[in-house]
Amino acid sequence: MSSPTLYGLCGAVLVGLGLFGLIVHPQPLRKIVAFNLIGGGVFLLFGVVARRGAAAGFGGDPVPQALVITGLVVAFAATALAVALLLRLFHETGRATLRSDG
């Protein structure tokens, strides 16, 4: 097995792990961490696709690499918005759970 494939398998497992955390954890902060873990796995798969496409003297296909950079920045923006919403929810209700509307 080549090392890109190895990291590809690693990314596959990360997606599943993150998905599990997102479903199971009741705390929104843990869900946010889990979402970032899924993101890590997905980006890793892009990286593997890029590495496999190494050609023309480049170590990897630059297109998926650029897509990952865009994706990382978007994921950060998402995390920041989610954290801000969560903190606001906490300051307003004293609780940090999604089960507030009952």
Partner 1 sequence: MAFDTGLAVLVLGVAVWTITARDTFAAVVGFVAFGLLLALVWVRLAAPDVALTEAAIGSGVTGGLLLGAHTHLRRTETAAAGELPGAALRLAAAVLCAMVSAGLAAIVLLLPEPAPTLAPQVAANIATTGLGNPVTAVLMAYRAVDTLLETVVLLLALLGIWSLAPDRVWGGFPGPHHDADPQGVLTFAAQLLVPVGILVGVHIFWVGSVAPGGEFQAATILAAMWILAAMVGLVDAPPVSRRWLRILLVAGPAVFFAIGLAGFAMAGAFLAYPPPYAKLLILTIEIPLTLSIAATLALLVAGPPERAPQR
Partner 2 sequence: MANSATAGGFLLVLAIVLPVMGALLSLTLGGRHAERIALILMPVGLTVAVAIAAVVWRAHNVLQYFVGSWDPPLGVAFRADGLSAAMIVTAALLISGIGLFARAQFPAQGGAKARAPLVFWTLLLMVWGALNAVFIGGDLFNLYVALELLTFAAVPLVSLDGRAETFAAALRYLLFALLGSILYLLGTGLLYGAYGTLDIALLSGRIHAGPVAWAAVSLMTAGLLAKAALYPLHLWLPPAHAGAPAPASAILSGLVVKAPFFLVVRLWFDVMPGLPEHAAAQVLGGLGAAAIIFGSILALRQARLKLLIAYSTVAQIGYLFLMFPLAVRPETGHPWATAAWTGGVLQAVSHAFAKAAMFMAAGLIAEALGHDRIAGLAGIGRALPITVFAFGLGGLSLMGLPPSGGFVAKAMLLTAAVAENQWWWAVVVLAGGVLAGGYVFLVLARALADAGEPLTLLSTISRSRQAVVVVLALCAVLLGFVPLRPSELLQIGRPGLPIAVFR
Binding to partner 2 in span 34-63, by CB under 8 A: 35, 38-39, 42, 45-46, 48-49, 52-53, 63
Provide the minimum distance between the beta carbon of 10 and partner 2 in the complex, in angstroms, as a whole number.
15
Cα 34 to Cα 17, 20, 90, distances in angstroms: 8, 8, 20
H helix runs in the chain, sequence order: 3-24, 28-52, 62-93
The item of partner 1, partner 2, none sharing an interface with residue 35, based on CB under 5 to 8 Å by kind, is partner 2
Q: Is 31 in the site for partner 2 (CB under 8 A)?
A: yes
